[in-house]
Structure 1
Amino acid sequence: MPLVVPGIQSSGGDQINEWSSKLMGKKLGDNHDEVTFAKQDLPQEHRVLQPDSMSTMDHRPDRLNVHVDEQGTVKNVRYG
């Protein structure tokens, strides 16, 4: 099993776990409900990435990347 050092091989730590539990399987919208998370409650430094969308490759450890599928459902969350 490979050694994973938080902050080096992985990023986000407890924060990424917290955001994953809040966002995974939900859609992003204007208000909170059972299936939607309000966009205004995302961190200031974030970007929403749709399938096949272009994005810069700059690494910004404080930026939350929210990956959504074709229907807008969150499928992955990571920092960078």
Structure 2
Amino acid sequence: MPLVIPGIQNTAGGDGQDWESKLMGKRLGDSHDEVTFAKSDLPQEHRVIKPDSMSTMDHKPERINIHVDEEGTVKKVVKG
């Protein structure tokens, strides 16, 4: 099993804080602009969680969980 050192080696999906800084306050859409982030540029292991939606409680270290509000604006980004 390889040794993974946070901040030294990058794992699939990148650091959750990196994604938080890229996504917070933006909407997810088909292309990039000042207020939109392209869905096609998200890591393969991601899920968008809408208010009042159900999601599994399984932990996947490489997955990015993107919480959005009713209008689709990103409010929280959690890795796992």
TM-score (norm 1): 0.81
For residue 41 of structure 2, what is the aligned residue in structure 1? 41
For residue 77 of structure 1, what is the aligned residue in structure 2? 77
* Distance in 1 between residues matched to 2:54 and 2:72, nearest whole Å: 16
1:17 Cα deviation from its structure 2 partner: 1.6
Deviations 1:10-46 (A, max 9, x none): xxxx711211110000000000000000000000000
What stretches of structure 2 of length at least 5 have no aligned partner?
A: 1-5, 7-13
Quick one: percent identity of the two aligned structures?
72
* Distance in 1 between residues matched to 2:59 and 2:20, nearest whole Å: 19
**Is residue 53 of structure 2 the alignment partner of residue 53 of structure 1?**
yes
Aligned CA RMSD, in angstroms, stands at 1.3
TM-score (norm 2): 0.81
* Distance in 2 between residues matched to 1:17 and 1:55, nearest whole Å: 21
Amino acid at match of 1:47: R
Runs of 4+ in 1 over 4 A off after TM superposition: none
Residue-pair matches, total: 68
* Distance in 2 between residues matched to 1:17 and 1:66, nearest whole Å: 12
